[in-house]
Amino acid sequence: MTAGHAAAAGARGAGGASRTGSGEARPLLNRRLAEFGTTIFAEMSALATRTGAINLGQGFPDTDGPEEVREAAVRALRDGRGNQYPPGPGVPELRAAVAAHQLRFHGLTYDPDTEVLVTAGATEAIAASLLGLVEPGDEVIALEPYYDSYAASIAMAGGTRVPVTLRPTTEGPGTGRTYRLDLDELRDAVTDRTRLILLNTPHNPTGTVLRRDELAAIAELCVERDLLAVTDEVYEHLVYEGEHLPLAGFPGMRERTVTISSSGKTFSFTGWKVGWVTAAPPLVTAVRSAKQYLTFVSAGPFQYAVAEALALPDAYYTGLRDDLRAKRDLLAHGLGQAGFGVFSAPGTYFITTDIRPLGATDGTAFCLALPERCGVVAVPTQVFYDHAAEGAPYVRFAFCKRREVLEEAVKRLRDAPPA
Ligand SMILES: *Cc1c(COP(=O)(O)O)cnc(C)c1O
């Protein structure tokens, strides 16, 4: 077995081990990452491929974004723009476009030269923020269920994650249920060691969008306890009811918030991995300190294309939202007909369902059996929790797929034999 194979085996949780000088077996994978196996998305997508099932697990669109944006990338490549290392903070065109976007949609002013940093997707922005701002032993509060890279990034930074649980509003089956943040619980989670709150709204996996009063309370708490905030806003344009409000726009937050977004979800090019950070200069400097030794730079020609994409007229953004809202409605209706309890999904790519009306209680077992039962893949919400029991009966479905794919999935789910 080569070192590479052994490392891969260890990363899969297969117990790869090496011999230390003293002859004792020691796990290859270090302690910081030992608890993280393969991401659930890779696992469920592999299951979808193996069984030929419709993949409503991983949140990626099955059609590409605007043709003119794709053409802009081709043009940049052909014209030799970005084929060599672009500037560390990102190409000036994209930094200017990000600043213009923050002003146009959110009324937030950022200096493209000192307050914008281009990253390899939101994923690198999150990792670099934590690596740059968190001291080993610092506590990081994240709303659970949380996006799966958060726990690993906090761990790589040596931080301690402190989950605060979003809870369903009412128990039992029925549509219109949603998730709410318990502000008292959030306040109680803050200690003298809390460094920052890692916030995600619109929220994956629940589809919840934090309300103005909730964000105002979070902002007050950050100011009162002198906390930083890192906000993951990759679904900022995918809000179907209500509105997206950046935390950075609340009183006292401009100077203490690292705002993160990405082109993946907004322009349906998740493979390009062009993301960005907007924040006050000292925060951008801290994030860049880590980022420069992760990827240094990435996606040169795509940065130029995303700069053009950000300047698309409002009709693009509303068109994307209207299209996804209709798809959400189609899937929500179908899931209801198939007997699931369906949560409202005011934002993101995702609908959360309660499987108890179907007579099932364990989302993981349910999702593992679903491809065989009816040829559909979904993700158990349980995997996004530290307190796994909280998420046991919930399953997440993605609706960022073509209409005919959603219609076929709904038909299969309706016709499925009992769980
Ligand atoms: C998809 C997603 C990301 C990753 O964004 P990239 O730009 O692809 O790295 C980050 N956070 C959340 C909540 C996501 O759903």
Whether residue 9 has pLDDT greater than 60: no
| Position 77 confidence tier, pLDDT thresholds 50, 70, 90 | very high
Is the bond preceding residue 145 a cis peptide, omega within 30 degrees? yes
Asked if residues 399 and 330 have their Cβ atoms less than 8 Å apart, the reply is yes
Whether residue 185 has pLDDT greater than 80: yes
Which amino acid appears at position 382 of this protein?
Q
| Position 174 confidence tier, pLDDT thresholds 50, 70, 90 | low
**Mean per-residue pLDDT, 219-242:** 98
pLDDT digits (tens, 9 = 90+) for 212-226: 999 999 999 999 999
How are beta strands 139-144 and 194-200 bridged, if at all?
parallel
Whether residue 36 has pLDDT greater than 90: no
**What is the 20 CA–ligand 1 centroid distance (Å)?**
38
CA of 262, closest atom in ligand 1 = 7
**What is the 417 CA–ligand 1 centroid distance (Å)?**
34
* DSSP assignment letter at 134: P
| Position 232 confidence tier, pLDDT thresholds 50, 70, 90 | very high
Q: Which residue from 382, 378, 380 is spatially nearest to 144, judged by alpha carbons?
A: 382
CA of 263, closest atom in ligand 1 = 7
**Pocket-testing residue among 45, 204, 233, 400, ligand 1, by greatest number of atoms within 8 A of Cβ:** 204
pLDDT digits (tens, 9 = 90+) for 283-297: 999 999 999 999 999
pLDDT digits (tens, 9 = 90+) for 287-334: 999 999 999 999 999 999 999 999 999 999 999 999 999 999 999 999
Lowest mean pLDDT among 76-90, 174-188, 375-389: 174-188
Residue with the smallest CA separation from ligand 1 atom 2 is 234
**What is the 393 CA–ligand 1 centroid distance (Å)?**
24
**Pocket-testing residue among 232, 295, 399, ligand 1, by greatest number of atoms within 8 A of Cβ:** 232
**What is the 21 CA–ligand 1 centroid distance (Å)?**
41
- Please give the structure tokens belonging to residue 84: 């060599």
CA of 203, closest atom in ligand 1 = 13
Higher pLDDT, 39 or 411: 411
DSSP H/E element including 185: helix 183-189
**What is the 120 CA–ligand 1 centroid distance (Å)?**
11
The predicted structure's pLDDT at residue 65: 97
Which amino acid appears at position 206 of this protein?
T
Which amino acid appears at position 9 of this protein?
A
CA of 270, closest atom in ligand 1 = 8
| Cα–Cα dist 334/106, whole Å | 34
**What is the 122 CA–ligand 1 centroid distance (Å)?**
5
**What is the 234 CA–ligand 1 centroid distance (Å)?**
6
Q: Angle, to 10 degrees, between the axis of helix 67-78 and the axis of helix 300-310?
A: 140
Higher pLDDT, 11 or 198: 198
Q: What percent of the chain shows pLDDT beyond 70?
A: 93
What pTM does this model have?
0.93
pLDDT digits (tens, 9 = 90+) for 338-359: 999 999 999 999 999 999 999 9
| Cα–Cα dist 152/32, whole Å | 8
Ligand 1 pocket, residue 204 CB under 6 Å: yes
Whether residue 4 has pLDDT greater than 90: no
**What is the 172 CA–ligand 1 centroid distance (Å)?**
31
Ligand 1 pocket, residue 147 CB under 6 Å: yes
**What is the 325 CA–ligand 1 centroid distance (Å)?**
19
| Cα–Cα dist 82/12, whole Å | 35
Whether residue 108 has pLDDT greater than 70: yes
DSSP H/E element including 162: strand 160-168
Residue with the smallest CA separation from ligand 1 atom 5 is 122
Whether residue 385 has pLDDT greater than 90: yes
CA of 204, closest atom in ligand 1 = 13
| Cα–Cα dist 175/212, whole Å | 23
Whether residue 6 has pLDDT greater than 90: no
Ligand 1 pocket, residue 262 CB under 6 Å: yes
Helices then strands, each counted (H, E), the chain = 14, 16
Whether residue 18 has pLDDT greater than 70: no
Ligand 1 pocket, residue 122 CB under 6 Å: yes
| Position 31 confidence tier, pLDDT thresholds 50, 70, 90 | confident
CA of 200, closest atom in ligand 1 = 13
Residue with the smallest CA separation from ligand 1 atom 8 is 121
Residue with the smallest CA separation from ligand 1 atom 15 is 204
Phi-psi region of 137 (alpha: psi -120 to 50; beta: other; left: phi over 0): left
**What is the 150 CA–ligand 1 centroid distance (Å)?**
10
**What is the 40 CA–ligand 1 centroid distance (Å)?**
14
Average pLDDT over the chain, rounded to an integer: 92
Whether residue 5 has pLDDT greater than 80: no
The predicted structure's pLDDT at residue 176: 75
**Mean per-residue pLDDT, 172-188:** 84
Q: CA dist 112 to 82, 94, 213, 299, Å?
A: 18, 9, 30, 19
CA of 124, closest atom in ligand 1 = 9
